[in-house]
Amino acid sequence: MPKYCELVADIASYQPDTLAFFRSLRVKKVRAVIIKLTEGSATGSAYVNPKAAMQVKHALEAGLLVHVYHYAKFRGQQDAKDEADWFIKHVRKLGITSNSVLALDIEDKRNNDPATADANTFLQRVKSAGYPRVDVYSMASWFWNGRLDVRQLIAKNLWVANYGVPAPGVANVGLWQYTNVFDVDGVKLDMNYDFNGFYTKLPLTVKNKVVTNKGLDNFIDVLGDKWFYQHGRFTTHTAIRLRWGAKITSGIITLLPANSVIDYDAYSFHDGYIWLRQPRSNNKFGYLVSGEEHEGHRTNYWGVFGKTVFSEVSG
């Protein structure tokens, strides 16, 4: 099994939408979730997961990375375009960003055989709508028998289901759904291994250009923590406390609601968190956590970065 291997849960309306459930996923060391959002098209089954909005909200509040998927009913390329449009409409409605993976679940007996051209039509429609991170899910047998041709698919990560075996059974798989009976407080669900970090590490890119900060000036604060100067903008995905100091015991200025936009001038990796420093009036500063870290590497994001994205340097 590859060295980097994190847990990713995929869920649908069968699973809870409570904050407690998603916090329990975190306790189980799950890093990300893939939530079923839609199925079919506006003129077809027109299905939308009725729990999706709350599942997305509470997953973010629990500190999980959130991705979404569409269940394919299409048969033919125009049908695939119509389903992609239905998916994109609801992705935008929920405010899902381009950092999230948008996956296609294609396993229905109605789908064409071969189904590669239809799948690519759907994926390209999603990419053209501004969501570059796409993936394809199916059972291993669809790849074995050529119903989906790995060589021709636009998506290269590959999400494959294969239970009760020691390996996915398909070469170069990025995400392996290895069980459908993973237990979380009595709730059974599908669980996956993320081999490449495609779902559990967000891309550190801005306008397709990687931004590194090896030459940044830095300083040590009065508590002995190392900071790196950098000007940027951070939009929160969940409610985050803004504090007078960069410690979880520091006094609270306010509770920032989700979608708050904060300009910052420095960041620091310490005490298990990545802190941002917000300049305020009268030469004062506010501090907030943008996510968690382990041994100098970010493990999750509690929002998205705007003007620039810093490389993961702990000093």
In this predicted structure, what is the pLDDT of residue 230? 87
β-pairing, 205-206 with 209-210?
antiparallel
Using CA atoms, how far residue 17 sits from 58, 155, 201, 259, in Å, is 7, 29, 23, 20
Give 136-175 pLDDT, tens digit per residue.
999 999 999 999 999 999 999 999 999 999 999 999 899 9
Q: How many helices (H) and strands (E) does the chain have?
A: 5, 20
Contact 12, 55 (CB under 8 A): no
Paired strand residues for 9 = 33, 191
41-66: average pLDDT: 95
- Average pLDDT of every residue of the chain: 89
| pLDDT above 70 coverage of the chain, percent | 91
Burial of 239 (0-12, 13-18, 19+ CB in 10 A): middle
Q: How many CB atoms lie within 10 A of CB 218?
A: 14
The whole-angstrom separation of Cα 56 and Cα 191 is: 17
CA distance 266 to 230: 5
Q: Tell me, what's the pLDDT at 293?
A: 86
Quick check: bond before 50 cis, omega within 30?
Answer: no
The model carries a pTM of: 0.67
CATH number of the domain at 205-305, please? Answer: 2.30.30.40
- pLDDT for 187 beyond 90: yes
**Fold (topology level) of 6-194:** TIM Barrel (3.20.20)
Domain ranges for the chain, please list them. 6-194, 205-305
Spatial distance between the Cα atoms of 34 and 12, rounded to a whole number of angstroms: 9
Looking at 208-222, 265-279, 292-306, which range is the least confident one?
208-222
Tokens matching residue 99: 């950092």
Higher pLDDT, 229 or 152: 152
Return the exposure string of 150-184: e unless at least 16 CB atoms fall within 10 Å of the residue's CB, then b: beebbbebbbbbbeeeeebbbeebbbbbbbeebeb
